[in-house]
Structure 1
Amino acid sequence: MSPQSFSLHPAWDRMYSSGMTVREISDFTGRARSTVHRHLQLRERVSEDLRAVHDAAREARGPDWPPTRWQRRYKEVQDFYKSNGRLPAVDGDEVEHDLVIWVRSQRTLHRRGALPAIRITLMDMIPDWDATPPRTILDDHWRDRLCELVVFVAETGQMPRYKKFSGEHEHVLGVWLHTQHQARAEGRLLSWRLEELDASFSGWRSRE
């Protein structure tokens, strides 16, 4: 087995080989620049062609290189995962919902074979980004949110608002309910979910 197999940070090696600079790797991983630099210095000693591969890749940066907008969105997803210990969910607030759509688009491109290698390398830094949650987990999460909604309405006497909300909990529930409202209007709401909402709240709708 070659010494290269014992790399402590193989993802950093791939990023470096793809043309990313030490500073960029540090920014994407959240690790100190000096730490990344020391690691790559060691890797260059055991892999003589690593620097040449890096230089050639950096020189050849083309349209596949992530633009600033992509990098910014990636960082938002990465920071969200670090703060919450999970990927963004569809029933979160508007910001979280936007992140869900972005991750889903990267997943779709990847499965079509249309996501550039450098972007795959970066996305792989986010655990389970390409995994589809089991249907049962999604359904259980939906039912939990419905229960929270039932409790909220019982305590406040009103449906939660997604714009003029009075607190974060109301905002989360308001966005979730609005998402269900939109899905119903577009014919995307699963029949059993519609039945459970109708059974819990006759004539339900979202509020601003």
Structure 2
Amino acid sequence: MTQPKRKTPYSEWVMMYRTGIPAKQIAAVTRVAESVIRFHLARAAEQDPGLRAVHRAAAAPVLKRVTEPGHRNLQEVMAFYEAEGRLPVSGRSRLESTLAEWLTRRRRDAADGTLSPTYAEALDTIPG
């Protein structure tokens, strides 16, 4: 089945994208191939270089979920802080380096606004 030709970029899809809706979801809602949506959005981005930044700002952050390994790491970071009186740092031991890397990723999640509230509440009990 052929789809009707639309003026490029199609303003309705660009408007949806500006509100933070991803191209994949626009394609699903409009029943148009994702490649067609992406083509139109690419043309729109050529005309408006700030389009992608507007999309990212409008998109709701997806919160990271709490996993069993993540919960264990959280407990180990909390225990480490209780025992050592400091946060783990890389380079001291393998376990401490692993915990430091996990904590760095959670800080990045917090900065991106995607940190799980479970992690945020527990880590807020640690100063700094």
| TM surpasses 0.5 | no
Q: With structure 1 as the length reference, what TM-score do the two structures score? A: 0.29
Larger RCO, structures 1/2 (Cα 8 Å, 6+ apart) = 2
Q: With structure 2 as the length reference, what TM-score do the two structures score? A: 0.45
